[in-house]
Amino acid sequence: MTVLALKPLSEADVFQEDFAANAAHLPGAGQEWLDRKRAAALQAFARTGMPTRRVEAWKYTDLAAALESPLEPAARFPGAVREAGAFAGVAGTRLTLVSGFLHAVGDREEDIDIVDLAAIGTKVPDWVKDHLGLLAAGPDQPLGAASLALMRGGVALRVRASNAALHLNFVNPAGRHDVVIHSRILIVVEEGASLRLLESHSGEGNDQSLTNLGIEINLRPGAKLEHVRLQSESQTALHVTSIGASLERDAGYRALYAGLGAKLSRLDVIVQLRGPGAEANLHNVSAPSSGISDVTTVMDHASPHTTSRQLFKSVVGGHGRSVSQGRVVVREGAVKSDSHQLFKALLLSPRAEADAKPELEIFADDVICGHGTAIGALDADALFYLRARGIPEAEAKGLLIRAFLEDAIGDFVDPVTHDAIWRRLDAALTAMGQEVK
């Protein structure tokens, strides 16, 4: 259920102002197909406006209140960027996006078509025209809609082969002003093709810039996507990513999201299971010790014989807050839907907070839908057991915390990616005062 709240008129909306002033200068402006999509997206955004806690899906994460200063749209970064990203050691085509603009392409594999959305001209491939804006642009993802309406940069990618590998390395350099980065990633994985996508976000400086990223994932029949996403922006930044994924018959989407940076991190995911045999498996880990790490999903079983699994784990310390919201919808006729979601949070300090809200909306018979939530402190029995075996308290705690998170990471990724994620996780846990060795 989407609840819309009216914004007071006096609170002028920076996004709408931006559109009013700059629509004519946005990439691809003047092309009817894109102008139309941008205008529709702006309208979708306007139904909610900048989300406050009065918007049901944002009740735990007040983005409007977190925006303290006026934000200018980000401009293309003129300098050189050395940041290789968290997954530098992993093979595959490497795209570096700086402030949301495509900056460099490295180790290019021929089996991935790449279109720079900042340089979109009159010659646009049909697959871009056909797909752009179908997902992550509706009123149920208002920030996703804004990222399309105000899109300055990003890339469109099409995969036609098996075992393609791609690294999206997002870098936000320190700037003099707080900026907002509206960018889009469009991914089309053609029938029977498969892609391994590594996405990393890093930032420097201590500004309060907002990344507003919209990701569209189109998986054609039998297509597979394995998506590992590591968000480790600077601790002052704001980060919102809206993902829309459409899975056709027998398509598979496996994702591991790690939300480790930013003072406010919101990952907003809508997965549509649109054909029999479609299967989505989402894992999320977070370790906030000061900010908010929010993952909110809608798993839409729109076809019979579809499967979804969700496992979200967060370790919360200091005065950090984790939010896990998951709505599973089984539509009329979507028999033999099989869905499970489990949200677990470990609270390590008295001021830590975890909000978990699983929801089920079932309109079909003969389905399996399970959900569970567990929020608590470290297990005292387990801690005593380890200490009674000679393991010092701090090390024992670290072992248990690591085990708790590893459960969601473990076999999900290859060893190199695994280590890359753990390097960032270890740093986040150390910042929390938990030594994990």
Partner 1 sequence: MLEIDDLHVTVDGRDILKGITLSIPAGEVHAVMGPNGSGKSTLSYTLAGREGYAITRGRILYQGEDLTQLAPEERATKGIFLALQYPVEIPGVVTLTFLKTALNAQRRARGESELDAMRVLKLVREKAKALKIPEEMLKRPLNAGFSGGEKKRMEILQMALFEPKLAILDETDSGLDIDALKLVADGVNALRAPSRAMLVITHYQRLLDYIVPDRVHVLTNGRIAKSGAADLALELEAHGYENV
Query: Which residues of this chain interact with partner 1, rule CB under 8 A?
Result: 379-382, 384-393, 395-396, 399-400, 402-404, 406-407, 410
- The percent helix, strand, coil of the chain (3-state, each to 5) is 20, 40, 40
- Decide whether 135 or 346 has the Cβ nearer to partner 1: 346
> How does strand 153-159 pair with strand 112-116?
antiparallel
- Decide whether 399 or 416 has the Cβ nearer to partner 1: 399
Minimum separation from the CB atom of position 380 to partner 1 (A): 8
**220 and 189 Cβ atoms separated by less than 8 Å:** yes
Helices of type H across 92-184:
126-131, 142-149
In Å, how far from its chain's centre is CA 142?
Answer: 14
Minimum separation from the CB atom of position 224 to partner 1 (A): 27
- Decide whether 26 or 396 has the Cβ nearer to partner 1: 396
- Decide whether 309 or 331 has the Cβ nearer to partner 1: 309
DSSP result, 108-127: --TTEEEEEGGG--S---HH
**152 and 57 Cβ atoms separated by less than 8 Å:** no
- Decide whether 3 or 403 has the Cβ nearer to partner 1: 403
For 30, which DSSP code?
A: T
Minimum separation from the CB atom of position 87 to partner 1 (A): 24
- What is the side-by-side strand order in the sheet with 93-98? 101-106, 93-98, 164-172, 194-203, 224-232, 252-259, 279-286, 307-316, 338-347, 368-376
Minimum separation from the CB atom of position 396 to partner 1 (A): 8
Minimum separation from the CB atom of position 399 to partner 1 (A): 6
Minimum separation from the CB atom of position 283 to partner 1 (A): 14
Minimum separation from the CB atom of position 411 to partner 1 (A): 12
- Decide whether 79 or 390 has the Cβ nearer to partner 1: 390
Distance CA 319, CA 312 (A): 20
- Decide whether 89 or 392 has the Cβ nearer to partner 1: 392
Q: What is the number of helices (H) and of strands (E) in the chain?
A: 8, 20
